[in-house]
Amino acid sequence: MRIAALVSGGVDSSVVVHRLKEAGYDPFIFYIRIGMQGEDGFIDCPSEEDIEITSYIAKKYGCKFEVVPLHEEYWDSVVRYTIDTVKRGQTPNPDMMCNKLIKFGVFEQRYGKDFDRIATGHYATTTRVDGRCYLSTAADHVKDQTYFLGQIDYAQVSKLMFPIGGMQKREVRAMAEEAHLPSATRKDSQGICFLGKINYNDFIRRYLGEKPGKIVEKETGRVLGEHKGFWFHTIGQRKGLGLSGGPWYVIEKDLERNVLYVSCGYDTQAQYGTEVRLRGFRYISDGLPQGMNLPQEVWFKIRHTPEFTRARLSRSGEGDDAVWTLQSERPIQGIASGQFGVLYVDSPYTSEPAADESKLCLGSGIII
């Protein structure tokens, strides 16, 4: 079996190579190099150290290695999507788009098509139910990354391998140390890769500029200050408002009037909601497992956190006009338009439904 291993230089993907070799495979290692294109040309990710470590891993295990430059493709899809979404006053998720369009999209079309499987360092697993492959949660519930994979399709998930999906993070680091991998003690990457060392607000300012407007307390209508552009803020945001007497949270945007509405403290009921509506929902594995029908009890996430929330899922309308409604069992904070709602059901191999048990990831839709 020919396996393409996507390796970033971090500890997780490095251990993927180690585990594949232990299992008797000879993976072909690929490093996907992405970056950001500005007026002054490409502003590359700080990738030199990553490539050096990945090259070392390839030599250590006798694997073929290739750097894949996908700067322009990343810009045309993921970065442009990010800018357009922010401009509409919504909250983007470039990590999800990168998985869907770059790692398992463009890479697959140009390189992955020549391999039987693609292995990655994501904390996720796959489960076969009634002959179909489902994306499923990792053994490490804190590190689980299925949320970021919620936009992939059946052809993609069917080809993926997650060699560390059944491990705890501490076990991954211990294995890396035992194998004397240079990435054993490297910190996990944070933030959006294409920005490099550029501040997120500086990036947004470069392409959208500033558009000053009022910051208003939702309950009283009192003007508290001024923002420099609604695109610098997202629903549920606390930091960066520059207001005293808080904590203040962004709870609403009026794009026509360019007003940012805020409220003080988590206890303010206006910040919470029990209904999440999704448009453009797509199943990863082409539907619910056999025996499940709508309306259906599901678990969901609206951001990457270890916690799941229980809800009743229903649908109105058909095709592209369909709206999927989640009626949550408890109020949730920071429902942001443009973000993704990712849905889960309990694995049929789970004895008792519980938030920390293994789950099948059904798919995702955009919050409206």
Q: Which amino acid is at 239?
A: K
Cβ-contact 5, 25 below 8 angstroms: no
Q: CA torsion angle for 126, 128, 132, 137 (degrees, to 10)?
A: -30
Known catalytic residue at 45? no
The verdict on whether omega for the bond into residue 306 sits within 30 degrees of 0, i.e. cis, is: no
98 is catalytic: yes
Q: Cβ distance 92 to 81 under 8 Å?
A: yes
Q: What phi, psi does 79 have (nearest 5°)?
A: -70, -40
Could you list the beta-strand ranges (E) of 112-220.
117-119, 125-129, 132-136, 160-161, 213-217
Three-state SS letters, 87-121: HCCCCCCHHHHHHHHHHHHHHHHHCHHHCCEEECC
Residues 314/252, Cβ–Cβ less than 8 Å? no
Which residue among 63, 193, 264, 361 is the active-site one?
193
- First CA to last CA distance, the chain: 43
Q: Enumerate the active-site residues.
A: 98, 193
